[in-house]
Amino acid sequence: SAVISQKPSRDICQRGTSLTIQCQVDSQVTMMFWYRQQPGQSLTLIATANQGSEATYESGFVIDKFPISRPNLTFSTLTVSNMSPEDSSIYLCSVESQDNYGYTFGSGTRLTVV
Amino acid sequence: QKEVEQDPGPLSVPEGAIVSLNCTYSNSAFQYFMWYRQYSRKGPELLMYTYSSGNKEDGRFTAQVDKSSKYISLFIRDSQPSDSATYLCAAGFNYGQNFVFGPGTRLSVLP
């Protein structure tokens, strides 16, 4: 399975600022996925990032708030913009596994907005 | 009604017990089902996936899908303290499309 390096692992940010989360995969992948995991709640898909095209956002998530870059087949970033305490959550990137029909996740970024 | 529901626990069992973790889902068109294990401060890792109804076994783990009742289960035999984690179920229409996750059940296996 692919190995995903995600950073930062955690951060505490001031409201109104932005944080960019990076996701590096050790192999080329077509699609990369960004999820949010709020305490006690389900993993929620934010958007799907394809190389060379605009990311596809799920209902309730917009590009102005969560801009995504996908410059090549091994890397993606998610920015959480103009943060508020409600954005405090764990953010995870994910790719399709090549060998087991599942998905491989990064270790997550634990974001606290104060 | 949420698309995938799961008792959040926490569930505590003694070492060696058989653990039963369950989810229900609302969309009868779901065909793919997965179970993930998530240790604290880590990302979820795939345990098992199943297609349509039936059972699938992998070592101490058995995944079971009953599409008639829209019920999915994960059984852990001879549970170990290292099994202590949050277990997430997920359901979807097709591999490669958006899967819907349950909120997870937190399991503690006590030595």
Query: Which residues on A lie below 8 Å from B103 (Cβ)?
Result: 40-42
Could you tell me which residue, A96 or A7, shows the higher pLDDT? A7
Could you tell me which residue, B49 or A7, shows the higher pLDDT? A7
- For residue A81, give every residue at least 6 positions away whose Cβ sits within 8 Å of its Cβ, in sequence order, or none: A18, A64, A65, A66, A67
Query: Which residues on A lie below 8 Å from B36 (Cβ)?
Result: 102
Confidence (pLDDT) at A40: 78
Confidence (pLDDT) at B96: 64
Tens of pLDDT along A59-100?
999 999 999 999 999 999 999 999 999 999 999 999 987 766
Cα separation, B8 vs B6, in Å, equals: 6
Preceding omega of B10 cis (within 30 degrees of 0): yes
Of B4, B43, B46, the CB nearest to A97: B46
Query: Which residues on B lie below 8 Å from A106 (Cβ)?
Result: 43
Strands A31-37 and B11-14: unpaired
Q: Is pLDDT of A106 > 90? A: yes
pLDDT, averaged across chain A: 93
Q: Are B96 and A31 in contact (CB under 8 A)?
A: yes
Cβ separation A97–B45 shorter than 8 A? no
Could you tell me which residue, A2 or A19, shows the higher pLDDT? A19
Confidence (pLDDT) at A24: 97
- For residue A17, give every residue at least 6 positions away whose Cβ sits within 8 Å of its Cβ, in sequence order, or none: A82, A83
For chain B, residues with pLDDT lower than 50 are none
Of A31, A44, A102, the CB nearest to B34: A102
Confidence (pLDDT) at B7: 85
- In A, minimum Cα distance to B87 occurs at A42
Cβ separation A42–B104 shorter than 8 A? yes
